[in-house]
Structures are given as C-alpha cells and as structure tokens.
Structure 1
Amino acid sequence: MKKFTTAALAALVAAGSMGVASAADAQSRYDRNDRQEQRQDRRDDRRDDRRDDRREYRQDRRDDRQDYRQQARAYDRWQRAERRYNAPRYAPPRGYQVRNWSYGQRLPSYYQQGYVVNDYSRYGLRAPPRGYHYVRSGNDVVLAAVAGGLITAVIAGLFN
C-alpha cells in the first residue's frame, strides 16, 4: 500500500508539474506574441506622431504665411507716409469736417471735385490704377474709386 500511495503521489506531482509547464509554455507564447504586438504598436505610434508633427508644422507655416499676407494687405490699405510734403492749407468741403477715413468706406462726391491730387508723382505716390484717383482729406491722401468713391487705401500724414 505504501508503494501504491507513493506511486500515486508521484504521478499526481508529475501531472501537476506538467499542467503548470504547459500553462507556463502557453503563457510564454502569449507573452511573446503580445510583446511583438506591443512593439509594433509603439512603432506605429512613433511613425504617426512624426507624421502628425510634420503635418502640424506645415500647417503652422501655412498659417504664418497667410497671416503675413493679410498683414501686408492691411498695411497696403492703410500706411503712414515716409516723408511729409508742404502743400496749401486744407479747407474741408462745406458742411464737412476733417476726419480719418479707412478702407472700405465711401468718400462723398464733394471730395471728388476740388480735392483730387493730380500731381501724385510729386508726392512720391505711384500712379493710381485705372478708375481710381488720389483725394486729399486733411493731412491724409485717400485712394478712392472715381465712380462710387469706395476707398481702397489710405496714406496717413502725407502733408504738413
């Protein structure tokens, strides 16, 4: 009986260790596959991060260029004169006061009669585009459309 018990106990221990070995073997295979998947995921994440970083960098550069162009356009619409010129005393049209004009406003037709600056090259101004002319308003010069008086640019402080 003693032999039988010893043999049964030995068989039980052997079967238990085999079960543990097979479970450990399965777990190590699972861990190996899991580790490979995790490594691949990390590689993909790194690639995606780099790709996203490049995309964000390009988008930021594009936004910066767009902001620069908008600022340049705004500057072209309203600029301060680099040099001041002496001109005859300014008297506003009857019923009007000197005021600061800005881009997009409409200049009244009264200004388009006696306040047009025809000798623009004398004051360092470029030739106005077809359909536009320079109009004096106080110490400023306004580039306005001949037909509707729509202001497209303001040169501030051109005259003393």
Structure 2
Amino acid sequence: MKKFITAAVAAVIATGSLGLAATTASAQSRGYEQSQDRRDDRRDDRRDDRRDDRRDDRNDRREYRQDAREDRREYRQDQRAYARYQRAERRYNAGRWQQPRGHRYQAYGYGQRLPSAYNAYVVNDYNRYGLRAPPRGYHYVRNGNDVVLAAVAGGLITAVIAGLFN
C-alpha cells in the first residue's frame, strides 16, 4: 500500500508539473507572440508615420514650387510692362496727322494687324513723348491721336496708347 500511495503522489506531482510546464510554456509563448505582435505594430506605426511625413514634405515642396512659379510669372508680366491698352497721362502736340492714302481712320486694338502703309508714321523720338524704348523687333506707329506698338515684320499690334497726341 505504501508503494501505491507513493506512486499516486508521484503521478500527481508529475502530472501537475507537466501541466504547469505546459501552462508556463504556453503562457511564455503567448507572451512572446503578444510582445512580438506589439513590436510589429509599433514598427508599422513608425513606418506609416515616416511615410506620412515624407508625403507631407513632398506636398509642401510642390506648393512652394508652385508659389515660386506664380511669383516668377507675375514678375515677368511686370517686366513686360506694356499693357495692352493704356490711356496717355499727358498729351503732346506733334502736328496734324493725315491717314495713309487709300485708308480711312480706324482705331486699332491689341492683336490686330497694322497695314504696312502705316510704316511711314513710325515714332522714332519716343523719349520725347514719354515712351519707353520699344523691344527689339517692334516700333511705335502713330495712328490718329493714338500710338501703337507693333511688330516691324508682321505689323501685329502688342499695345495701344490712346490719346497721346492732341
């Protein structure tokens, strides 16, 4: 009987220790898996955060480039400074104007073509009338009381300064 009790106690202890070992092992493995999952989640979060930051920076750079581009456009437009239609601030006496033979007076506007017959009325002393020097390939032409900035080659009108002459 003594042997039987000893064997039973040993069996219970063995079973308990195996169960305890299994429980400990499963708990450890679950803990390891949980901690591994937590690490992976943290890594993914950090990776996503980094990606988001990069995207934000990229968008900021794009917006900055776009703003800079618009500033350059505005600056170029200011540099051109030949408004399509201007009203003269001051009037000058330049004598009587007579239209070219075969033409009648017509008020020309931006984008129209000036007939070659008007090339006889080129205004060469533009400084005298408060005008800037025309760009290369352009000249000022008198048309009635107005002055027109036109291309030398094709006569395309770039700007009109209305009422410069009396």
TM-score, normalising length from structure 2?
Answer: 0.67
Equivalent in the alignment of 1:110: 117
Matches within 5 A, 1:106-145: 106-113=113-120, 115-128=121-134, 132-145=138-151
Match of 1:38 in 2: 44
Unmatched segments (≥5 aa) in structure 2: none
Distance 1:142 1:80, change over 3 A: same
2:117 partner amino acid = Y
* Equivalent residues of 2:84, 2:159 under 8 A apart: yes
Range that drifts further, 117-126 or 7-16 = 7-16
- Which residue identity is paired with 1:100? Y
Secondary structure of 2:91 counterpart: coil
Structure 2 counterpart of 1:60, one-letter code:
Q
Indicate the SS of the match to 1:101: coil
Aligned identity (percent) is 39
- Post-superposition offset of 1:68: 0.5
Contact 1:92 1:98 in 2 (8 A): no
Q: Which has the larger radius of gyration?
A: 2
Give the CA deviation at 1:129.
5.2
Kindly indicate whether residue 57 of structure 2 is the aligned counterpart of residue 51 of structure 1: yes
Q: Where do 5+ consecutive residues of structure 1 fail to align? A: none
Q: Decide which of 95, 103, 106 is 1:98's aligned counterpart.
A: 106
Partner of 2:28: 22
The answer as to whether partners of 2:150 and 2:158 remain within 8 angstroms in 1 is yes
Q: CA deviation at 1:22?
A: 2.9
SS at match of 1:133: strand
Matched residue SS, 1:85: coil
- Larger CA deviation: 70-79 vs 48-57: 70-79
Cα offset for 1:102? 1.3
How far the C-alpha of 1:48 sits from its partner, in A, is 0.5
Deviation for aligned residue 1:77: 5.1
Residues 1:134 and 1:12: Cα distance change in structure 2 (over 3 Å) = same
Root-mean-square deviation (CA, aligned residues, Å) is 3.6
Aligned residues: 158
Moved more, 134-143 or 5-14: 5-14
User: Structure 1 residues 59, 128: closer, same or farther in 2, change over 3 A?
Assistant: closer
Question: So what's the TM-score if we normalise by structure 1?
Answer: 0.68
